[in-house]
Amino acid sequence: MTVTLVLGGARSGKSRHAESLCTGNRHYVATAQAFDDEMQARIARHREDRGAAWVTHETPLGLIETLREIDGPDRIILVDCLTLWLSNVMLAEQDWRGLGDVLAALLPAMQADVVLVSNEVGMGIVPETSLGRAFRDAQGVLNQRVAEVAHKVVFVAAGLPLVLKG
C-alpha cells in the first residue's frame, strides 16, 4: 500500500499526472459538486476523459466513509480532489481539522494504493475576504498533514512533475 499526494495549481496538469499513476482495478473518488453549468461541463469532461475503465464514487462530503467502504487489496483509489472536499466541508461548517486528522490517520492503514490530488493555493495573491484567507490557510494545513503521511509527494507545474518526497 502506498499513498501519493499530487499537488499543483489550477490547470497545472496535476489530475492528468495523478491518473497516469493509476493502473489495474481503478476507483475514482470525485469530490466536486456541480453548482453551475461550467462545473457541470468540467465534471462531464473529466468523466469522458477517464472512460469506462474507472469505477466512480461521487462524494462531496463523505470522503472518509467512501475510502473505508471501497478499500481493498489490489485496488488503486484516486481522490480528486482534496481542495473541493475541504471547501465542501468548510461550507457545511464541519470540523475540517478533525476530519483532516481522521483522513491522515486512515491513509496509512488502507490496503489499497491511494493517490490524492490537491491544489497548492498559498502561492498567489492574499485573498481579500476572511473566508478566502481561512480557506487558504486550511488548505495549507491539510496539504501538510497528508504530505506527512504520504510515501510520495509530487508537485506538478506546467504539466511537469517534480518529486518532493519519495
Grid cell, residue 127, equals 485573498
111-118 average pLDDT score = 98
In the chain, what are the domains?
3-165 (3.40.50.300)
Extract the C-alpha cell encoding 4. 501519493
The larger pLDDT score, comparing residue 119 to residue 39, is at 119
Above 90 in pLDDT, residue 42?
no
Q: What is the pTM of this model?
A: 0.94
The active-site residue out of 17, 46, 57, 151 is 46
Question: What are the tens digits of pLDDT across the range 68-84?
Answer: 999 999 999 999 999 99
- What integer pLDDT is reported at residue 117 of this predicted model? 98
- With 0-12 / 13-18 / 19 or more C-beta atoms within 10 angstroms meaning exposed / middle / buried, residue 29 is buried
> Is 46 among the catalytic positions?
yes
Residue 43, pLDDT above cutoff 80? no
Q: What is the mean pLDDT of residues 50-69?
A: 93
CA–CA distance, 89 with 60 (Å, rounded to integer): 8
Which residue do the cell numbers 475540517 mark?
Answer: 96
For residues 163 and 34, the model is more confident at 163
Q: Which of 16, 25, 79, 7 is nearest to 50 (CA)?
A: 16
Question: Percentage of residues in the chain with pLDDT exceeding 70?
Answer: 100
Cβ neighbours, 10 Å, residue 1: 14
